[in-house]
Structure 1
């Protein structure tokens, strides 16, 4: 369990405590990240998960995104894989990796046996995750097919969340995370992490794996 909160200015701790209470009650919370704004629900609150996908209008067969407080938490949800381990060097950061789920990942969050893993690099997102126990089910703050929110005002105006956390003046980049599938390294979406950097890490992992055979 992650209960230690980073040092946060202003009313952030109070807002995060309130947000966790809402999450545990099955409500949806909007929060800032280093990429775009996100929507979060607690994985233990079935009502919240159902509410989130209803609000999003998302295909339930698509892998869900599990945001984690740190790399260790994220890797527990996936099967051991050299390529995943290599890409984990980019976390925390604007990267989502879709990987075969481990037995520790609830099947409901891994349709088709795959789960999307993310470790955000934003103090508010990190504080929320740690206060919530290390994991949250997350997605971008928008209805599927529409542009995601990139500011507090846009997130509030969308009306998709029961609470919108303040960003503390730390703006989101406005560019979504890069999405990569492992094994294989297929880039599903180009985003904040360059494909050249991903390719270098994957090639190094494959060389190391070959040298170990």
Structure 2
């Protein structure tokens, strides 16, 4: 059994990313046209679209309309700018980049800018924010302006792709960004589990709730929130 992910690995620089920069520019153009791009992460493979075009991710996957998408961000500063500030969110931002999705109230003006897409990423005004720890995912986000609506790469009800071969077999995207080989020419082994999803306390509460167990252990979350008097519980 794989150990829980506890800290972000050192990331390759843009010059280490295998795909040609033209591929990332092509990905951004596809996203601008309302299309979908497949990409690797340190957890499982993902699908990305512009937040305003989030409905396309539901259509490709056959995903239930009442299941929100997450927002993947280039860095912690980008993610924090989308959310209503809070000490708990700031404390957890130290886990980024990494396999943690934090569900927190979003900035109303940012939600309005996404039009109908806001209902897919923030149906109740709360956003699921994540910063991936993978050079290809981050290069895509950089090329696309820093923020994308994302979800795991799989038809609804099937296992998420954990390899490039599985991602290609599902054939859900308009473009697939290949993974980065290591020094031995092998693609890095992902965690093969999704990110941990943690919902922050509502105003007046002191309990954060794990909505989905994943790549980041509960002990790490509890250690970061305990100084604020916030407990971590699992649904």
TM range (shorter): 0.7 to 0.9
Of the three residues 53, 56, 60, the one matched with 1:51 is 56
Of the three residues 19, 29, 32, the one matched with 2:37 is 29
**Contact kept? 2:17, 2:136, Cα under 8 Å:** no
1:173 aligns with 2:178: no
Question: Normalising to structure 2: TM-score of the pair?
Answer: 0.80
Question: Normalising to structure 1: TM-score of the pair?
Answer: 0.88
What's the counterpart of residue 85 of structure 1?
A: 90
Unaligned residue ranges in structure 1 (runs of 5+): 208-213
Of the three residues 60, 69, 72, the one matched with 1:64 is 69
What's the counterpart of residue 6 of structure 1?
A: 14
Deviations 1:154-202 (A, max 9, x none): 0010011111110022332212111100023100111111001111111
What's the offset of the Cα at 1:23? 1.0
**Contact kept? 2:100, 2:195, Cα under 8 Å:** yes
What's the offset of the Cα at 1:9? 4.0
Of the three residues 127, 131, 137, the one matched with 1:115 is 127
Of the three residues 155, 158, 174, the one matched with 1:143 is 155
1:154 aligns with 2:166: yes
Unaligned residue ranges in structure 2 (runs of 5+): 1-12, 113-117, 182-187, 202-206, 231-235
> What number of residue pairs does the alignment pair up?
200
Distance 2:37 2:150 in 1: 9
What's the counterpart of residue 214 of structure 2?
A: 191
CA RMSD of aligned residues (A): 1.6
**Contact kept? 1:62, 1:111, Cα under 8 Å:** no
1:204 aligns with 2:227: yes
